[in-house]
Every structure is written in structure tokens, then in C-alpha cells.
Amino acid sequence: MPDIFSKFTHTVKTHSLIDSGDRILLSLSAGKDSMAMLDLMMRYRQIINFDIAIFHLNHMMRGQDAFLDEDFVCEKARSLKIIAYIRQYDFNSQTPQGISFEEHARNVRYSMLSEIASLENFNKIATAHNKSDNAETLLMRIFLGTGIYGLKGIEYTSGNIIRPMLDLMPEEIYSYLRENSIAWREDLSNKDCTYSRNYIRNKIMPLVTERFADAISNIIKISAHARENEQLLDLLYKKSFPDTVFMENNSLYILTDTFKNDSALIKYKLGREIYRRYGFKFKQSIFDEILKRYNLPKTNILLYQNNDFIIRKSLYKEKKCIVIENNSQVENFHKWEYDISLFNNGNIFITEIKRYFYFEKTDFNDFIQNKGRKDLIFMALPDSEKSITLRNRRDGDRILLESGTKKIKDLMIEKKLDIKIKERIPLIIVGREIAAYIPSAITEVENRVSCNFWVKSDSDLIYKFYFKD
């Protein structure tokens, strides 16, 4: 039977967890798994060269014991001459409603780890999850409801997070600590079965393993089968639905129009992309609500939102799609406006759409030759007009078309434009009147010019407008 360091090394090498030159931030409590991982990491540094530092979060939930854990970790870091990043968070007074303590603590911990890793240039974060933790996670997900991605359990890597202890059993870890005289601190809250994981660990698992000796190993095998099935599904999807997922303007598009409202396909691809990018697994109830909203007879609709990402139903080139974007990149759109003098031909950069707006005085011949071009806007202006305004829409905006006055809002609804696009479409204002509606500046929808500004053979003052990158 291999010793624990050999198993640790095998896991690291098999899953390519650590490379020479890595800077790894270890997420440590003062418990047995954390102290064993710290010692094993120190030993592995004798094989290849990499840097480590310690992160410890004081949850401030266990009175003096929580601060004794903090002191213990700090002293350990000092003895090993390793930098320790210590954070305190009062979960007693800062746990929001509608979320379990366990989930909130995990979110806070990973947020702090990511922030420190980014600021201090750590390219990897290591956690001390063991084999039993993985089995408990699988059972908990099954009890709460999960799909194939949840059945994969805890993975060896997710993003920049590595889990080198995942093949080790708690009994092996205890033996290693005792044999090497490595101290650790017991967290008495681990016996509190009001927490779901502790209930599974302390109540359910002992009963299961008493009856089924190989239960943990067999539960773990489920995760391996789930990963194999996931790989097969990915392969089949790519062959059946090529080019249906792509990035544009930092947003991810899934062209669901080709799915023919197949709920299983939508769930599969949406769940897959969200997990890949954010490590987030939807509960079945959330999926049900997303699909319910997706099937509403509306084009632009919010499907789901949290602190990390936003999911919307939209259109891409007249085809139904789902758009996923970082919550931080969704802009709070504001009213914008540019006053433009027409004394000379010229251009101006429109920051909100990141394009140049060109304006040139021209003649009727140019209009006749190029009026079919969708990228050009020709307008006849009053002889006395010396300026125009370029802005985005306002409530109540209307334009005079051949069929009569029409709301700008209705023109946008007819083309089922995305809300982000709506707020960026430029309008040309002459005096107090909307002279042109120009969606072609940012999409493929046709421009509209007010009847009052149509070019005629006897028009004296004709201008040509267009946009360029």
C-alpha cells in the first residue's frame, strides 16, 4: 500500500496540478486536512520549485477558539517562514437571508482567495478537500437534486483552484499527522449536525459504511462515470450543433434557435457554459424557472441574475439566442448627446458606441448613385440649419414616416432588438425633430429617415452621414 506522500505525488502528477514556478495560495483552517496539505506541499517543494503562501479566514463564530485557530496558523506560518494572509469576517452578523451559512461562508472565502491571488500574483489556489469530502458532496447533491454535472462531485481542478488531497481518506491523513508529530486543532463545530454536511458526515456516512464497507470508493466512482458521460455529451453536441456558441463583445451567445425549443438541450448547454465560466451549478428549481421564462412569448427578457453573471433571452441576427455576460460588464446606460456643427465636413468619436460619426455636405448626384447603400444616410436639411444633435432615445420619441408618426420604441420592438442595443442606437435631431433613426450603426436593422428630411431633386442642402470604426 503506497504511503500518503506517494499518493499525494501521484495525484499531483496525474492531474498536472503543480508546475515548476507556480505561486500557490493554500486555503487553510487549523484542522487535520489543512495541516497535512501544508506539510505535503513543503515536502513536494523539495522535488520541484514553486512558491506557497497561506490564507486563513477567521469566521468569528466560535468565540475564543476561532482566534486560537488564527494564532495557530500564524505561528505555523512564522515557523516555516511563509507569508500568511489572515482575514476576519463576522458571519454571526453578516449572513444574508435566503442563503445557508455554509454557502455564504464558501462564497466569502473564495471571493477573498481570488482577490488576494489576483493582487499578489498567485496563479493557483489549493484547498484540502479529501476523498470523504467528495463522497459527502455527491450524496448532498443527490439529496438536494442535481444533474450530471453535480454528479461529477468535487473536481481536481476548477479554474485556478487545485485539490491535491482528493485521493486521500481521513484515516490516512490522521495516521500521517500522528506518525510525523504534526499538530492540528479540532473544530468542535464539525460535530454540529444542524449543518447539512456535518449531518451527512456524522449521521449518514457511519451507517452507510458500517453496512457497505466500500461505499465511499463506490460513490466516488459515480463521479468518474459522470465525467466520462460529460465528455461524450460534449463531443456529440459539437458534432450535432457546430458554431452555436461564440463570444462577441465580451458576451457569450448560445444560438438556441437551432434547438427547436428542446428543453433538455437548452438545460445541457446553458448549465455547461455557466459551470465552465463561473463554477456555478444550477438547482433544478432554478432551471425550471429559467425554462419557464425562456418559453414566454417575448424576445428580450431576463432569465436569471446573480452577483457574477446575467442570463438573457435575446435575438442574434433574427435568431433566438441566450446571452450570458458578467454582471460587472452590464452597463448602467445613461442619456448621451452630441451637438455637432455643420460649418465644415468632419467626424466625431461617439464614445458610447465606440465608432466615428462622419458628416459631409454632398449633392443630388451622389445621392442617386449611393442611395441604395445601407451604411449611408442622406438627408435634406433646411438652408438655415448649421448644426444637428446626435443622441440616444428618450421616452416618447417619435419619427414621421410615410405611414404616419411612429414611436421609436415601437420600431425597436418590431425588430425585437436587445435592450443593450436599444440604448445605443443613435438618432439625428434637427431643431426639435427626429430626422433619422440609425440602428445600422450597431446592428443590421435598416435605417429610417423622417419624411420631412427626404432628399429631392430640388433639395438645396444635402448631407451624407455614416459611421466607421
Asked whether residue 230 is domain-assigned, the answer is no
Q: According to the model, what pLDDT value does residue 390 have?
A: 94
**Residue 68, domain CATH:** 3.40.50.620
pLDDT of 95 strictly over 80: no
Asked whether residue 368 is domain-assigned, the answer is yes
pLDDT of 254 strictly over 80: yes
Confidence of residue 99 (pLDDT cuts 50, 70, 90): low
pLDDT of 8 strictly over 90: yes
Residue 297 near residue 325 (C-beta atoms within 8 A): no
Q: Are residues 317 and 349 in the same domain?
A: no
Residue 1 near residue 16 (C-beta atoms within 8 A): no
Q: According to the model, what pLDDT value does residue 186 have?
A: 86
Among 14-28, 154-168, 237-251, where is mean pLDDT lowest? Answer: 237-251
CA dist 312 and 314 (Å) reads 6
Mean pLDDT value across residues 380-401: 90
Average pLDDT along the chain: 88
Mean pLDDT value across residues 294-314: 85
Please give the torsion angle defined by the CA atoms of residues 197, 86, 44 and 154, in that order, rounded to the nearest 10 degrees: 30
pLDDT of 330 strictly over 80: no
Asked whether residue 11 is domain-assigned, the answer is yes
Asked whether residue 422 is domain-assigned, the answer is yes
Sheet holding 124-126: strands in order across?
84-88, 51-58, 23-27, 124-126, 161-162, 157-158
Confidence of residue 97 (pLDDT cuts 50, 70, 90): low
Largest CA distance in the chain: 99
Mean pLDDT value across residues 223-244: 88
Q: Nine-digit cell at 150?
A: 453535480
pLDDT of 331 strictly over 80: no
Q: Are residues 401 and 323 in the same domain?
A: no
Confidence of residue 75 (pLDDT cuts 50, 70, 90): very high
CA dist 79 and 418 (Å) reads 58
Asked whether residue 233 is domain-assigned, the answer is no
Q: Are residues 187 and 49 in the same domain?
A: yes
Provide the domain count of the chain: 3
Mean pLDDT value across residues 193-212: 87
Among 195-199, 202-206, 425-429, where is mean pLDDT lowest? Answer: 195-199
Among 32-41, 408-417, 427-436, where is mean pLDDT lowest? Answer: 408-417
Q: Are residues 168 and 74 in the same domain?
A: yes
Among candidate residues 282, 298, 329, the one where a domain is terminated: 329
CA dist 331 and 329 (Å) reads 6
Q: According to the model, what pLDDT value does residue 40 have?
A: 97
Sheet holding 355-362: strands in order across?
346-350, 355-362, 462-468, 377-380
Q: According to the model, what pLDDT value does residue 103 have?
A: 78
Asked whether residue 272 is domain-assigned, the answer is yes
Mean pLDDT value across residues 68-96: 88
CA dist 424 and 432 (Å) reads 20
pLDDT of 183 strictly over 80: yes
User: What is each CA distance from 99 to 103, 106, 213, 286, 408, in whole angstroms?
Assistant: 7, 11, 35, 14, 42
pLDDT of 55 strictly over 60: yes
Confidence of residue 144 (pLDDT cuts 50, 70, 90): confident
Confidence of residue 119 (pLDDT cuts 50, 70, 90): very high
59-66, long-range: CB < 8 A, 24+ apart: 59/89, 59/91, 59/105, 60/88, 60/89, 60/90, 60/91, 60/92, 61/91, 61/92, 61/189, 62/187, 62/188, 62/189, 65/187, 65/188
More confident residue, 214 or 100: 214
Mean pLDDT value across residues 363-378: 92
Q: Are residues 181 and 112 in the same domain?
A: yes
Q: Are residues 193 and 218 in the same domain?
A: yes
The domain of 75 spans 4-223
Q: Are residues 214 and 168 in the same domain?
A: yes
pLDDT of 100 strictly over 90: no
Asked whether residue 229 is domain-assigned, the answer is no
Q: Nine-digit cell at 4?
A: 500518503
Asked whether residue 423 is domain-assigned, the answer is yes
Q: According to the model, what pLDDT value does residue 384 have?
A: 83
Residue 33 phi/psi, 5-degree rounding, is -65, -45
Residue 160 near residue 196 (C-beta atoms within 8 A): no
Q: Are residues 48 and 157 in the same domain?
A: yes
Among candidate residues 190, 223, 256, the one where a domain is terminated: 223
Among 126-135, 298-307, 313-322, where is mean pLDDT lowest? Answer: 298-307
Q: Are residues 434 and 285 in the same domain?
A: no
Mean pLDDT value across residues 101-122: 88
Among candidate residues 277, 300, 329, the one where a domain is terminated: 329
Percent of the chain at pLDDT exceeding 70: 97
What is the model's pTM?
0.62
Mean pLDDT value across residues 247-265: 87
User: What is each CA distance from 3 to 64, 180, 242, in whole angstroms?
Assistant: 36, 13, 47
Confidence of residue 1 (pLDDT cuts 50, 70, 90): very low
Residue 249 phi/psi, 5-degree rounding, is 50, 45
Q: Are residues 203 and 304 in the same domain?
A: no
- DSSP reduced 3-state for 166: coil
Q: Are residues 219 and 364 in the same domain?
A: no
User: What is each CA distance from 221 to 17, 157, 200, 360, in whole angstroms?
Assistant: 21, 17, 19, 70
pLDDT of 363 strictly over 70: yes
- Which residue bears the cell 520541484? 48
Q: Are residues 163 and 207 in the same domain?
A: yes
